[in-house]
Amino acid sequence: MPNMPTITANHVAAPPSWALLELKLIALMEKGAHMMSHKYAERSGAWYWSDDLDDYYERSYNWCLLYNMGGDESLVDLALKHWNATTRLFDDRDGNRINNMDYFHGVNPMRLKHNIHNEYFSIVHPGDAEWHHMGEGNMAFYDLALGDPTISENVRRSRRFADMFLGEDPESPIYDPVHKIIRSPMHGSLGPFHDATLDMVKTYLHGGHSTSPGWKAKTMGVRGSLYPAVKDLQPGWWDDPRQAREIVALFNQVVLNGDSAANLAATGLVTNAYLYTGDDKYKQWVVDYVEAWMDRIDQNGGIIPDNVGPTGKPGEHRDGVWWGTLYGWNSYVGWSHIFHSLGVAAECAHLVTQDDSYLDILRSQINVLLDNSITDDNGQLLVPNRATPDGWVHAHVEEDKWDATSSTNLRLYELAHLYHASMSQDDYNLILRVREGDHLRDWNEEALGAARAEWDSEYSRFQYYDGKNPNWPEKTLSLQYQKALENYHTMENDDRTVPEILRDNQEPRNAVFTKILTHVMFGSPQYLYHGGLLRATVRYFDPCRIRPGLPPDVAVLVDELRADGVGVQVVNTNRNESRSVIVQSGAFGEHTFTTVTTSTGDGHQSTEVNGKHFTVDLPPGTSIRIDAGLDRFSNKPSYAFPWHGDKIPVPFDY
């Protein structure tokens, strides 16, 4: 174990309620993971459930993260088992035993396909091979590195996956290094996708799933548009064979032949390889690709175009119209998917370069929305959600109700990530502007959101660090415990047989939730769900068991965030045994601790650290409050653990 400064706690007191809740939540969720794996999967790790490929990976996407919070070491083995099982299950090399297994995605008849090639998403099922879905599916792979970055085959995979985007995989000519474009919104290990079927075009232009019984088409533009080449496309065009051929060919040219802003999420996959290897070629690709899109923003008058053509020109196939591609500005998701990818790109470029100017790729587009905002009769700030031929639309549309609208207020998700990255007064002021214009929400109210990717918890988290929600740790942990307990009991009371589970084909209830623990323990927003990497102001390791995560009986709370520091409470709830914790600066050692000041029963004591780590020794029943100075984004980031040194020790060099 490397030498590092050591701080010793000496304040003996009853553990606070948040500490007990935190430990109970971790214990419950690790049991839930084992129950879910045992009840709803083969021993091999293959799930008793059929859906899209990314959804398979998502079942256990955060189990290695729970291990990093102090969960049992078996969580790493389970997560790796399920990832490998899914990859084998869909891989085209093995003939794929599920290739002809029919199932229903909601009411939509589907067929599982061998849509993995070389262990990564292929284009056999193109709907999975775009960054909304690949980003979701990749989360599980990224988190395996948090559990153990020394697994040789995962290091090899990280390189191979990233090399597709560097133009180094002849089977997958995804990237054009001259024009700095990814060649299609849909792409994978078999290259870019440029050959849509008639059913695909109907689905992407008119919504829903065109092969579904009773499918009802909407007017053009639900997921993508052919505007301005085709300004008005009414349902039924597919009944004319000549027109059908023309529209499909136009879709392949206008929509699929060029880059999409959503592809910026690929920076997460390439940064993942950089964190494993430290190879500068991955850093350079992230920089080049992000800068290319920043240039396109400048070329387009400050707004990121959702589409560029084969030469990198915005609106190249659309007579300069900068909106209209798949899941772009004009689609039913409006700016949502674009902003996911902008956030991933901003964080990755900032992380690998330590240059905060790259955050402007996200900040500039938040300002575009705010600069074009309006205030309704009730004083509510509304931002535009879609771009149309008639200009901005300040309303949200649902895919299944394309003609129905509702007002759009700016969510806190991306703003929370931007502010966590910069900790600047200007970004703080942006959040204040949104808060002052939001009369629909009580920002102190605890809310978990309905899904993994929801951002509702960010409001009350911001209020806590802004000094306006003092009981937030207890409230948010209690609410999360209740949700985890509900899912645990649902699984526990499920007495169906395996054939019945297969027949019902219901998504298994995951009892592992790491969003709130990320907030409380790491002092950060949850990672951007559609392909982002872990965010953490601080992270923890157990020097006695030589593993990531907290030791048994130890709880932590990040209680203050500043541009130049962080406050952390550390509690040993065990009244009989001592514990030790290594505290790391950032998720990947990207920050530097400066001076650490501790609050104990004897007052205050300062210790010079000037490094990435320090150790906290906790005698039985003690706690300590630490104020750690931070020089933020001052180190080269790495998946390496504190005892690895400058290079991750990988046993086998592929």
Dist CA 4 CA 607 (whole Å) = 11
Q: Per-residue pLDDT tens for 10-40?
A: 999 999 999 999 999 999 999 999 999 999 9
Q: How would CATH label the architecture of 6-16+519-527+529-631?
A: Sandwich (2.60)
One-letter amino acid identity for 589?
A: G
Q: What per-residue confidence (pLDDT) applies to 653?
A: 81
The pLDDT value recorded for residue 77 is: 98
**pLDDT beyond 50 at 174:** yes
Top pLDDT among 453 and 579 is at 579
Q: Which amino acid is at 10?
A: N
The pair of structure tokens assigned to 630 is 């931070």
pLDDT at 407: 73
**Range of weakest confidence among 83-92, 183-192, 358-367:** 83-92
Pick the range with the lowest mean pLDDT from 76-90, 208-222, 492-506, 529-543.
Answer: 208-222
Hey, how many other C-beta atoms are within 10 angstroms of the C-beta on 604? 10
Can you tell me which residue has the tokens 């964080």?
A: 347
Domain residue spans in the chain? 6-16+519-527+529-631
Give residue-wise pLDDT tens across range 146-161. 999 999 999 999 999 9
Q: Which helix (H) or strand (E) holds 407?
A: strand 401-407
Amino acid at 479: L
392 backbone dihedrals φ, ψ, rounded to 5°:
-70, 145
pLDDT band at residue 2 using 50, 70 and 90 as cut-offs: confident
- Rounded CA-CA distance 519/515 in Å is 6
Residue 424 clears pLDDT 70, i.e. is over it: yes
Residue 100 confidence (pLDDT) above 50? no
The runs of H, that is alpha helices, within 171-316 are 198-206, 241-254, 266-277, 280-299
pLDDT per position as a tens digit, 366-409: 999 999 999 999 999 999 999 999 999 998 788 877 776 777 88
DSSP string, 302-366: TS--SEE-TTS-BTTTTTT----STTSTTSTTTTHHHHHHHHHHHHHHHHHH--GGGGHHHHHHH
Q: Is the pLDDT of residue 346 over 50?
A: yes
67-71, 219-223, 532-536: which has the minimum mean pLDDT? 219-223
Q: d(Cα 383, Cα 155) in Å, to the nearest integer? A: 42
**Which residue type does 486 have?**
E
* Contact between residue 575 and residue 554 where contact means Cβ atoms under 8 Å apart: no
Q: What are phi and psi of 513, to 5 degrees?
A: -125, 120
Averaged pLDDT of the chain: 94
Say how far apart CA 340 and CA 262 lie, in whole Å.
8
254 pairs with which residues across the strands?
Answer: none
- The alpha carbon torsion through 3, 649, 136, 343 (nearest 10 deg) reads 50
Each residue's pLDDT tens digit, 303-342: 999 999 999 999 999 999 999 999 999 999 989 999 999 9
> Pick from 73, 20, 68: which is nearest to 571 by CA?
20
User: pLDDT band at residue 99, thresholds of 50, 70 and 90?
Assistant: very low
Question: How far is 457 from 450, CA to CA, in rounded Å?
Answer: 11
Is the pLDDT at 110 greater than 70? The verdict is no
Apex CA 213: angle with CA 207 and CA 219, to 5°? 25
Whole-model pTM: value is 0.97
Task: List helix spans (H) across 380-456.
Answer: 413-422, 425-436
Alpha helical stretches, state H, 196-240: 198-206
Tokens of 450: 């309905």
Return the SS3 of 431. Answer: helix
Q: What CA–CA distance (Å, rounded) separates 90 from 121?
A: 9
Q: What is the pLDDT of residue 106?
A: 52
